[in-house]
A and B are shown apart, each in its own frame.
Chain A
Protein backbone atom coordinates (compact mmCIF):
# COMPACT_ATOMS: atom_id res chain seq x y z
CA UNK A 1 0.00 0.00 0.00
CA UNK A 2 2.67 2.58 0.75
CA UNK A 3 3.76 4.22 -2.44
CA UNK A 4 6.50 6.62 -3.30
CA UNK A 5 3.96 9.39 -3.05
CA UNK A 6 4.20 9.08 0.70
CA UNK A 7 6.77 11.83 0.66
CA UNK A 8 3.96 14.25 0.11
CA UNK A 9 1.42 13.37 2.75
CA UNK A 10 -0.65 16.46 2.21
CA UNK A 11 -1.82 15.47 -1.18
CA UNK A 12 -1.96 11.79 -0.68
CA UNK A 13 -4.02 11.66 2.43
CA UNK A 14 -6.35 14.42 1.41
CA UNK A 15 -6.01 16.25 4.66
CA UNK A 16 -6.50 19.67 3.13
CA UNK A 17 -10.03 19.64 4.40
CA UNK A 18 -8.77 19.81 7.97
CA UNK A 19 -7.90 23.05 9.68
CA UNK A 20 -4.22 23.84 9.88
CA UNK A 21 -3.76 22.83 13.48
CA UNK A 22 -5.29 19.46 12.84
CA UNK A 23 -3.22 19.03 9.72
CA UNK A 24 -0.16 19.55 11.85
CA UNK A 25 -1.40 17.00 14.34
CA UNK A 26 -1.94 14.45 11.61
CA UNK A 27 1.41 15.04 10.00
CA UNK A 28 3.11 14.46 13.33
CA UNK A 29 1.06 11.36 13.92
CA UNK A 30 2.23 9.99 10.59
CA UNK A 31 5.86 10.32 11.51
CA UNK A 32 5.97 10.11 15.28
CA UNK A 33 2.83 8.55 16.63
CA UNK A 34 4.10 8.37 20.18
CA UNK A 35 4.40 12.14 20.27
CA UNK A 36 0.69 12.79 19.93
CA UNK A 37 -2.56 11.90 21.60
CA UNK A 38 -3.57 9.01 19.42
CA UNK A 39 -7.05 8.76 20.78
CA UNK A 40 -7.62 12.32 19.69
CA UNK A 41 -6.11 11.59 16.31
CA UNK A 42 -8.41 8.65 15.74
CA UNK A 43 -11.43 10.70 16.73
CA UNK A 44 -10.43 13.50 14.45
CA UNK A 45 -10.12 11.12 11.55
CA UNK A 46 -13.40 9.37 12.21
CA UNK A 47 -15.26 12.64 12.68
CA UNK A 48 -14.02 13.95 9.40
CA UNK A 49 -14.75 10.70 7.61
CA UNK A 50 -18.36 10.95 8.65
CA UNK A 51 -18.66 14.45 7.28
CA UNK A 52 -16.54 14.43 4.18
CA UNK A 53 -17.44 11.97 1.41
CA UNK A 54 -14.15 12.51 -0.35
CA UNK A 55 -12.11 11.89 2.76
CA UNK A 56 -14.11 8.84 3.77
CA UNK A 57 -13.14 7.14 0.54
CA UNK A 58 -9.44 7.23 1.30
CA UNK A 59 -9.09 7.77 5.03
CA UNK A 60 -7.99 4.18 5.35
CA UNK A 61 -4.69 5.10 3.90
CA UNK A 62 -3.73 7.60 6.54
CA UNK A 63 -4.89 5.16 9.20
CA UNK A 64 -2.74 2.46 7.71
CA UNK A 65 0.33 4.66 7.83
CA UNK A 66 -0.21 5.65 11.43
CA UNK A 67 -0.76 2.04 12.45
CA UNK A 68 2.44 0.99 10.72
CA UNK A 69 4.39 3.80 12.28
CA UNK A 70 3.17 2.85 15.72
CA UNK A 71 3.74 -0.84 15.14
CA UNK A 72 7.43 -0.22 14.63
CA UNK A 73 7.61 0.38 18.35
CA UNK A 74 5.17 -2.37 19.22
CA UNK A 75 2.37 0.06 19.91
CA UNK A 76 -1.22 -0.24 18.80
CA UNK A 77 -2.98 2.51 20.68
CA UNK A 78 -4.18 4.20 17.53
CA UNK A 79 -5.64 1.08 15.99
CA UNK A 80 -7.38 0.12 19.19
CA UNK A 81 -8.94 3.55 19.58
CA UNK A 82 -9.92 3.70 15.95
CA UNK A 83 -11.62 0.32 16.03
CA UNK A 84 -13.48 0.97 19.24
CA UNK A 85 -14.71 4.28 17.94
CA UNK A 86 -15.79 2.57 14.75
CA UNK A 87 -17.64 0.05 16.83
CA UNK A 88 -19.56 2.80 18.56
CA UNK A 89 -20.51 4.32 15.26
CA UNK A 90 -21.51 0.93 13.99
CA UNK A 91 -23.84 0.36 16.90
CA UNK A 92 -25.46 3.73 16.26
CA UNK A 93 -25.70 3.35 12.51
CA UNK A 94 -29.46 3.15 12.28
CA UNK A 95 -29.86 6.43 14.13
CA UNK A 96 -27.15 7.91 11.96
CA UNK A 97 -28.99 6.83 8.86
CA UNK A 98 -32.21 8.40 10.07
CA UNK A 99 -30.45 11.59 10.92
CA UNK A 100 -28.41 11.91 7.76
CA UNK A 101 -28.13 9.61 4.78
CA UNK A 102 -24.88 11.21 3.83
CA UNK A 103 -23.32 10.52 7.19
CA UNK A 104 -24.51 6.93 7.00
CA UNK A 105 -23.06 6.52 3.56
CA UNK A 106 -19.81 8.09 4.69
CA UNK A 107 -19.66 5.69 7.59
CA UNK A 108 -20.09 2.66 5.38
CA UNK A 109 -17.50 3.95 2.97
CA UNK A 110 -15.10 4.55 5.81
CA UNK A 111 -15.48 1.21 7.52
CA UNK A 112 -15.04 -0.57 4.21
CA UNK A 113 -11.97 1.50 3.51
CA UNK A 114 -10.56 0.49 6.88
CA UNK A 115 -11.32 -3.12 6.10
CA UNK A 116 -9.43 -2.69 2.87
CA UNK A 117 -6.34 -1.01 4.24
CA UNK A 118 -5.88 -2.29 7.77
CA UNK A 119 -4.79 -5.87 7.52
CA UNK A 120 -3.63 -8.16 10.28
CA UNK A 121 -0.71 -10.31 9.25
CA UNK A 122 -1.75 -9.77 5.66
CA UNK A 123 -5.28 -10.88 6.33
CA UNK A 124 -8.39 -8.73 6.63
CA UNK A 125 -9.61 -8.09 10.13
CA UNK A 126 -11.95 -10.86 11.04
CA UNK A 127 -13.69 -8.64 13.55
CA UNK A 128 -14.90 -6.37 10.78
CA UNK A 129 -16.29 -8.99 8.44
CA UNK A 130 -19.73 -9.32 9.93
CA UNK A 131 -20.15 -5.60 10.64
CA UNK A 132 -19.28 -4.77 7.06
CA UNK A 133 -21.71 -7.35 5.79
CA UNK A 134 -24.33 -5.98 8.14
CA UNK A 135 -23.88 -2.57 6.59
CA UNK A 136 -24.13 -3.90 3.07
CA UNK A 137 -27.20 -5.90 3.93
CA UNK A 138 -28.73 -2.74 5.27
CA UNK A 139 -27.97 -0.97 2.02
CA UNK A 140 -29.68 -3.79 0.15
CA UNK A 141 -32.96 -3.20 1.93
CA UNK A 142 -35.84 -1.77 -0.12
CA UNK A 143 -35.81 1.65 1.48
CA UNK A 144 -32.11 2.01 0.77
CA UNK A 145 -32.38 0.71 -2.77
CA UNK A 146 -34.81 3.50 -3.45
CA UNK A 147 -32.10 5.98 -2.64
CA UNK A 148 -29.48 6.38 -5.34
CA UNK A 149 -26.89 7.66 -2.91
CA UNK A 150 -27.10 4.41 -0.98
CA UNK A 151 -27.13 2.17 -4.04
CA UNK A 152 -24.09 3.98 -5.32
CA UNK A 153 -22.36 3.41 -2.00
CA UNK A 154 -23.30 -0.26 -2.00
CA UNK A 155 -21.89 -1.01 -5.42
CA UNK A 156 -18.80 1.04 -4.77
CA UNK A 157 -17.95 -1.02 -1.70
CA UNK A 158 -18.59 -4.27 -3.51
CA UNK A 159 -16.29 -3.18 -6.29
CA UNK A 160 -13.57 -2.35 -3.85
CA UNK A 161 -13.75 -5.15 -1.31
CA UNK A 162 -16.29 -7.64 -2.60
CA UNK A 163 -13.75 -10.27 -3.45
CA UNK A 164 -12.03 -10.03 -0.08
CA UNK A 165 -15.33 -10.17 1.74
CA UNK A 166 -16.39 -13.19 -0.19
CA UNK A 167 -13.20 -15.01 0.75
CA UNK A 168 -13.89 -14.32 4.39
CA UNK A 169 -17.50 -15.44 4.25
CA UNK A 170 -18.93 -16.62 0.97
CA UNK A 171 -22.22 -17.66 2.49
CA UNK A 172 -23.14 -14.17 3.50
CA UNK A 173 -22.06 -12.86 0.15
CA UNK A 174 -24.39 -15.34 -1.50
CA UNK A 175 -27.21 -14.14 0.71
CA UNK A 176 -26.45 -10.54 -0.08
CA UNK A 177 -26.69 -11.23 -3.75
CA UNK A 178 -30.03 -13.00 -3.37
CA UNK A 179 -31.23 -9.69 -2.02
CA UNK A 180 -29.69 -7.77 -4.87
CA UNK A 181 -31.25 -9.99 -7.47
CA UNK A 182 -34.60 -9.69 -5.78
CA UNK A 183 -34.22 -5.96 -5.56
CA UNK A 184 -33.34 -5.66 -9.20
CA UNK A 185 -36.20 -7.86 -10.36
CA UNK A 186 -38.97 -7.14 -7.96
CA UNK A 187 -38.61 -3.75 -6.42
CA UNK A 188 -41.11 -1.30 -7.78
CA UNK A 189 -40.12 2.26 -8.21
CA UNK A 190 -36.43 1.52 -8.55
CA UNK A 191 -34.83 4.29 -10.55
CA UNK A 192 -33.16 3.43 -13.83
CA UNK A 193 -29.83 4.48 -12.38
CA UNK A 194 -30.32 2.10 -9.49
CA UNK A 195 -31.21 -0.69 -11.88
CA UNK A 196 -28.13 0.02 -13.93
CA UNK A 197 -25.89 -0.05 -10.90
CA UNK A 198 -27.40 -3.29 -9.67
CA UNK A 199 -27.18 -4.98 -13.02
CA UNK A 200 -23.56 -4.04 -13.33
CA UNK A 201 -22.65 -5.35 -9.89
CA UNK A 202 -24.51 -8.58 -10.56
CA UNK A 203 -22.48 -9.06 -13.70
CA UNK A 204 -19.33 -7.98 -11.93
CA UNK A 205 -19.61 -10.65 -9.29
CA UNK A 206 -20.73 -13.27 -11.77
CA UNK A 207 -17.49 -12.61 -13.57
CA UNK A 208 -15.52 -13.33 -10.39
CA UNK A 209 -15.29 -9.70 -9.40
CA UNK A 210 -14.29 -8.38 -12.73
CA UNK A 211 -16.10 -7.20 -15.82
CA UNK A 212 -15.65 -8.80 -19.16
CA UNK A 213 -14.36 -6.50 -21.86
CA UNK A 214 -17.72 -6.30 -23.53
CA UNK A 215 -19.49 -5.54 -20.29
CA UNK A 216 -16.87 -2.93 -19.50
CA UNK A 217 -17.57 -1.31 -22.82
CA UNK A 218 -21.28 -1.44 -22.28
CA UNK A 219 -21.28 0.15 -18.87
CA UNK A 220 -18.36 2.49 -19.01
CA UNK A 221 -17.98 3.61 -22.52
CA UNK A 222 -19.97 6.76 -23.10
CA UNK A 223 -19.76 6.55 -26.79
CA UNK A 224 -21.69 3.52 -27.90
CA UNK A 225 -22.09 2.82 -31.50
Chain B
Protein backbone atom coordinates (compact mmCIF):
# COMPACT_ATOMS: atom_id res chain seq x y z
CA UNK B 1 0.00 0.00 0.00
CA UNK B 2 1.57 3.22 -1.05
CA UNK B 3 1.99 6.23 1.06
CA UNK B 4 0.72 9.32 -0.63
CA UNK B 5 1.32 12.76 0.71
CA UNK B 6 -1.45 15.14 -0.11
CA UNK B 7 -1.88 18.72 0.80
CA UNK B 8 -5.48 18.42 1.83
CA UNK B 9 -6.07 17.71 5.45
CA UNK B 10 -6.56 14.10 6.35
CA UNK B 11 -6.10 12.97 2.79
CA UNK B 12 -2.62 11.67 3.06
CA UNK B 13 -3.48 8.50 4.84
CA UNK B 14 -0.85 5.91 5.28
CA UNK B 15 -2.00 2.37 5.25
CA UNK B 16 -0.15 0.97 8.14
CA UNK B 17 -1.23 -2.17 9.83
CA UNK B 18 -4.85 -2.38 10.50
CA UNK B 19 -4.65 -3.31 14.10
CA UNK B 20 -5.59 -0.70 16.53
CA UNK B 21 -3.10 -1.12 19.26
CA UNK B 22 -4.82 -0.49 22.50
CA UNK B 23 -2.42 -2.10 24.85
CA UNK B 24 0.96 -0.82 25.93
CA UNK B 25 1.22 1.66 23.21
CA UNK B 26 3.86 1.71 20.56
CA UNK B 27 3.59 5.41 20.27
CA UNK B 28 7.10 5.90 21.46
CA UNK B 29 8.38 4.03 18.45
CA UNK B 30 6.04 5.76 16.10
CA UNK B 31 7.00 9.20 17.22
CA UNK B 32 7.45 11.26 14.08
CA UNK B 33 9.04 14.57 13.45
CA UNK B 34 7.06 17.63 12.65
CA UNK B 35 7.48 19.35 9.36
CA UNK B 36 10.55 21.23 10.49
CA UNK B 37 12.13 18.17 11.92
CA UNK B 38 11.79 19.21 15.53
CA UNK B 39 9.72 17.48 18.12
CA UNK B 40 8.82 20.37 20.35
CA UNK B 41 8.77 24.09 20.22
CA UNK B 42 10.57 26.49 22.51
CA UNK B 43 7.59 28.19 23.98
CA UNK B 44 6.27 25.26 25.87
CA UNK B 45 5.53 25.89 29.50
CA UNK B 46 4.88 22.39 30.45
CA UNK B 47 8.17 21.50 32.04
CA UNK B 48 6.67 20.46 35.34
CA UNK B 49 4.75 17.61 33.93
CA UNK B 50 7.47 16.25 31.75
CA UNK B 51 10.78 16.82 33.43
CA UNK B 52 10.34 14.23 36.14
CA UNK B 53 8.68 11.83 33.83
CA UNK B 54 11.30 12.04 31.17
CA UNK B 55 13.87 10.51 33.45
CA UNK B 56 11.82 7.62 34.57
CA UNK B 57 9.93 7.24 31.39
CA UNK B 58 11.70 7.82 28.14
CA UNK B 59 8.60 7.11 26.20
CA UNK B 60 6.57 10.01 27.52
CA UNK B 61 5.58 12.40 24.83
CA UNK B 62 5.69 16.11 25.22
CA UNK B 63 2.09 17.15 25.61
CA UNK B 64 1.87 20.36 23.70
CA UNK B 65 4.08 19.93 20.77
CA UNK B 66 3.86 16.34 20.02
CA UNK B 67 2.58 16.42 16.51
CA UNK B 68 -0.69 14.85 17.39
CA UNK B 69 -1.41 13.70 13.94
CA UNK B 70 1.70 11.58 13.75
CA UNK B 71 1.38 9.75 16.95
CA UNK B 72 -1.80 7.84 16.98
CA UNK B 73 -0.65 4.30 16.53
CA UNK B 74 -3.87 3.15 18.03
CA UNK B 75 -5.41 4.13 14.77
CA UNK B 76 -2.99 2.18 12.69
CA UNK B 77 -0.36 4.57 11.50
CA UNK B 78 0.66 8.16 10.91
CA UNK B 79 -1.91 10.45 9.44
CA UNK B 80 -1.79 13.74 7.65
CA UNK B 81 -0.12 16.83 8.95
CA UNK B 82 -3.43 18.21 10.07
CA UNK B 83 -3.27 18.54 13.82
CA UNK B 84 -6.64 19.80 14.89
CA UNK B 85 -8.76 17.50 16.95
CA UNK B 86 -11.81 18.07 14.80
CA UNK B 87 -10.17 16.68 11.71
CA UNK B 88 -8.44 13.95 13.60
CA UNK B 89 -11.66 12.65 15.03
CA UNK B 90 -13.39 12.89 11.68
CA UNK B 91 -10.66 10.88 10.03
CA UNK B 92 -10.69 8.36 12.80
CA UNK B 93 -14.42 8.02 12.51
CA UNK B 94 -14.21 7.48 8.80
CA UNK B 95 -11.50 4.90 9.18
CA UNK B 96 -13.40 2.89 11.76
CA UNK B 97 -16.58 3.14 9.71
CA UNK B 98 -14.80 1.95 6.60
CA UNK B 99 -13.22 -0.93 8.46
CA UNK B 100 -16.49 -1.94 9.93
CA UNK B 101 -18.11 -1.75 6.50
CA UNK B 102 -15.36 -3.89 5.08
CA UNK B 103 -15.83 -6.54 7.71
CA UNK B 104 -19.52 -6.52 7.17
CA UNK B 105 -19.08 -6.71 3.43
CA UNK B 106 -16.67 -9.59 3.69
CA UNK B 107 -18.99 -11.60 5.82
CA UNK B 108 -22.01 -10.87 3.69
CA UNK B 109 -20.38 -11.65 0.40
CA UNK B 110 -18.82 -14.79 1.80
CA UNK B 111 -22.22 -15.98 2.90
CA UNK B 112 -23.99 -15.21 -0.30
CA UNK B 113 -21.20 -15.86 -2.75
CA UNK B 114 -22.72 -18.84 -4.55
CA UNK B 115 -26.07 -17.13 -4.88
CA UNK B 116 -24.56 -14.09 -6.46
CA UNK B 117 -23.04 -15.95 -9.33
CA UNK B 118 -26.46 -16.95 -10.49
CA UNK B 119 -27.60 -13.35 -10.81
CA UNK B 120 -27.51 -11.90 -14.24
CA UNK B 121 -24.77 -9.37 -14.52
CA UNK B 122 -27.17 -6.77 -15.79
CA UNK B 123 -29.34 -6.80 -12.71
CA UNK B 124 -28.96 -4.14 -10.10
CA UNK B 125 -27.91 -6.80 -7.61
CA UNK B 126 -24.51 -7.00 -9.16
CA UNK B 127 -23.96 -3.47 -8.07
CA UNK B 128 -24.92 -4.14 -4.51
CA UNK B 129 -22.18 -6.61 -3.84
CA UNK B 130 -18.88 -7.08 -5.56
CA UNK B 131 -18.70 -9.87 -8.08
CA UNK B 132 -16.82 -12.58 -6.24
CA UNK B 133 -14.49 -13.19 -9.13
CA UNK B 134 -13.19 -9.65 -9.11
CA UNK B 135 -12.71 -9.35 -5.40
CA UNK B 136 -13.54 -6.44 -3.22
CA UNK B 137 -11.83 -3.11 -3.16
CA UNK B 138 -9.96 -3.33 0.10
CA UNK B 139 -7.35 -0.63 -0.07
CA UNK B 140 -8.18 1.42 2.99
CA UNK B 141 -6.90 4.63 1.52
CA UNK B 142 -9.09 4.23 -1.53
CA UNK B 143 -12.10 3.28 0.54
CA UNK B 144 -11.68 6.26 2.78
CA UNK B 145 -11.32 8.62 -0.13
CA UNK B 146 -14.44 7.19 -1.71
CA UNK B 147 -16.32 7.35 1.56
CA UNK B 148 -15.37 10.98 1.94
CA UNK B 149 -16.72 11.74 -1.51
CA UNK B 150 -19.92 9.93 -0.64
CA UNK B 151 -20.18 11.86 2.61
CA UNK B 152 -19.88 15.16 0.77
CA UNK B 153 -22.79 14.16 -1.38
CA UNK B 154 -24.87 13.02 1.55
CA UNK B 155 -24.19 16.07 3.63
CA UNK B 156 -26.49 18.24 1.57
CA UNK B 157 -29.98 19.53 1.98
CA UNK B 158 -30.87 17.99 -1.34
CA UNK B 159 -29.88 14.54 -0.19
CA UNK B 160 -31.79 15.00 3.04
CA UNK B 161 -34.89 15.88 1.12
CA UNK B 162 -34.37 13.01 -1.27
CA UNK B 163 -34.16 10.30 1.35
CA UNK B 164 -37.12 11.70 3.18
CA UNK B 165 -39.23 11.71 0.08
CA UNK B 166 -38.17 8.49 -1.49
CA UNK B 167 -37.86 5.58 0.91
CA UNK B 168 -35.64 2.81 -0.35
CA UNK B 169 -38.41 0.47 -1.25
CA UNK B 170 -39.84 3.06 -3.62
CA UNK B 171 -36.65 3.73 -5.49
CA UNK B 172 -36.50 3.34 -9.19
CA UNK B 173 -33.44 2.88 -11.38
CA UNK B 174 -33.42 6.52 -12.32
CA UNK B 175 -33.22 7.64 -8.73
CA UNK B 176 -29.82 8.61 -7.39
CA UNK B 177 -28.07 5.58 -6.02
CA UNK B 178 -24.95 5.76 -3.96
CA UNK B 179 -22.03 4.22 -5.81
CA UNK B 180 -20.72 1.05 -4.24
CA UNK B 181 -17.33 1.83 -2.81
CA UNK B 182 -16.41 -1.83 -2.53
CA UNK B 183 -16.50 -2.53 -6.21
CA UNK B 184 -13.34 -2.31 -8.20
CA UNK B 185 -13.40 0.70 -10.48
CA UNK B 186 -10.75 2.82 -12.04
CA UNK B 187 -10.26 6.19 -10.45
CA UNK B 188 -11.82 7.96 -13.40
CA UNK B 189 -14.78 5.68 -13.51
CA UNK B 190 -15.43 6.13 -9.81
CA UNK B 191 -15.11 9.90 -9.93
CA UNK B 192 -17.52 9.98 -12.84
CA UNK B 193 -20.06 7.91 -10.95
CA UNK B 194 -19.84 10.23 -8.00
CA UNK B 195 -20.32 13.23 -10.23
CA UNK B 196 -23.39 11.76 -11.87
CA UNK B 197 -24.82 10.73 -8.57
CA UNK B 198 -24.45 14.20 -7.14
CA UNK B 199 -25.98 15.77 -10.22
CA UNK B 200 -28.99 13.55 -9.82
CA UNK B 201 -29.34 14.50 -6.19
CA UNK B 202 -29.47 18.14 -7.21
CA UNK B 203 -32.97 17.53 -8.46
CA UNK B 204 -33.95 17.72 -4.80
CA UNK B 205 -32.31 21.04 -4.12
CA UNK B 206 -34.50 23.29 -2.03
CA UNK B 207 -36.40 25.70 -4.24
CA UNK B 208 -34.93 29.17 -4.66
CA UNK B 209 -38.29 30.84 -4.34
CA UNK B 210 -41.15 29.97 -2.12
CA UNK B 211 -43.89 30.66 -4.64
CA UNK B 212 -47.16 28.86 -4.05
CA UNK B 213 -46.85 27.26 -7.48
CA UNK B 214 -43.61 25.64 -6.62
CA UNK B 215 -44.90 24.44 -3.32
CA UNK B 216 -47.83 22.82 -5.01
CA UNK B 217 -45.51 21.01 -7.34
CA UNK B 218 -43.37 19.75 -4.51
CA UNK B 219 -46.34 18.27 -2.80
CA UNK B 220 -47.21 16.14 -5.78
CA UNK B 221 -47.03 12.51 -4.95
CA UNK B 222 -44.04 10.96 -6.52
CA UNK B 223 -45.93 8.07 -8.02
CA UNK B 224 -47.98 10.41 -10.14
CA UNK B 225 -45.03 11.72 -12.05
CA UNK B 226 -42.86 8.67 -11.95
CA UNK B 227 -42.87 7.84 -15.59
CA UNK B 228 -42.71 11.23 -17.13
CA UNK B 229 -40.25 11.35 -19.93
CA UNK B 230 -39.03 14.72 -20.92
CA UNK B 231 -37.82 15.48 -24.38
CA UNK B 232 -35.08 18.02 -24.74
CA UNK B 233 -33.87 19.35 -28.07
CA UNK B 234 -30.25 18.62 -27.22
CA UNK B 235 -31.05 15.00 -26.93
CA UNK B 236 -31.02 14.49 -30.68
CA UNK B 237 -27.34 15.15 -30.98
CA UNK B 238 -26.55 12.34 -28.56
CA UNK B 239 -28.30 9.55 -30.28
CA UNK B 240 -27.46 6.83 -27.85
CA UNK B 241 -28.85 8.63 -24.84
CA UNK B 242 -31.62 6.98 -22.91
CA UNK B 243 -34.69 9.04 -22.37
CA UNK B 244 -34.35 10.55 -19.00
CA UNK B 245 -36.84 9.60 -16.38
CA UNK B 246 -36.98 12.61 -14.19
CA UNK B 247 -38.95 11.75 -11.17
CA UNK B 248 -39.00 14.63 -8.81
CA UNK B 249 -40.21 18.16 -9.29
CA UNK B 250 -39.11 18.48 -12.86
CA UNK B 251 -40.89 21.77 -13.30
CA UNK B 252 -39.29 23.40 -10.34
CA UNK B 253 -36.03 22.08 -11.59
CA UNK B 254 -36.53 23.75 -14.90
CA UNK B 255 -37.43 26.94 -13.19
CA UNK B 256 -34.50 27.10 -10.89
CA UNK B 257 -31.76 24.95 -12.33
CA UNK B 258 -31.78 25.42 -16.01
CA UNK B 259 -28.72 23.51 -16.92
CA UNK B 260 -29.28 20.43 -14.90
CA UNK B 261 -31.64 18.38 -17.00
CA UNK B 262 -29.67 18.73 -20.19
CA UNK B 263 -26.46 18.12 -18.32
CA UNK B 264 -27.91 14.92 -17.01
CA UNK B 265 -28.81 13.79 -20.46
CA UNK B 266 -25.45 14.56 -21.95
CA UNK B 267 -23.72 12.68 -19.22
CA UNK B 268 -26.07 9.76 -19.42
CA UNK B 269 -25.18 9.36 -23.05
CA UNK B 270 -21.56 8.78 -22.43
CA UNK B 271 -21.96 6.50 -19.49
CA UNK B 272 -22.19 2.78 -19.12
CA UNK B 273 -25.70 1.55 -18.87
CA UNK B 274 -25.25 -0.42 -15.73
CA UNK B 275 -23.85 2.52 -13.88
CA UNK B 276 -27.29 4.02 -13.68
Query: A residues engaging B (CB < 8 A)?
Result: 73-76, 79-81, 83-84, 86-87, 91, 94-95, 120-121, 123, 125-131, 134, 137-138, 141, 143, 167-172, 175, 178
> B92 contacts A126, CB within 8 Å?
yes
Given A127-B85, A128-B85; A76-B22 close (CB under 8 Å)? no
Residues in B neighbouring A175, C-beta threshold 8 A: 53, 56-57, 60
Residues in A neighbouring B64, C-beta threshold 8 A: 91
| A94 CA to B48 CA, complexed, in Å | 10
> A83 contacts B92, CB within 8 Å?
no
> B85 contacts A169, CB within 8 Å?
no
Which of B67-75, B209-217, B241-249 is found at the contact surface with chain A?
B67-75
Partner of A80 from the list B59, B74, B86 (CB cut-off 8 Å) is: B86
Residues in B neighbouring A94, C-beta threshold 8 A: 45-46
| A86 CA to B68 CA, complexed, in Å | 14
Check B96 for interface membership: any CB of A closer than 8 A: yes
Residues in A neighbouring B154, C-beta threshold 8 A: 74
> B72 contacts A171, CB within 8 Å?
no
Q: Could you write out 30 A-B pairs with CB less than 8 Å apart?
A: A73-B160, A74-B151, A74-B155, A74-B159, A75-B155, A76-B90, A79-B86, A83-B85, A84-B84, A84-B86, A94-B45, A94-B46, A120-B92, A120-B93, A121-B93, A121-B100, A123-B96, A126-B74, A126-B89, A126-B92, A127-B92, A128-B85, A130-B66, A130-B68, A130-B71, A131-B63, A134-B63, A137-B53, A175-B53, A175-B60
Partner of B25 from the list A120, A128, A134, A172 (CB cut-off 8 Å) is: A172
Residues in B neighbouring A131, C-beta threshold 8 A: 63
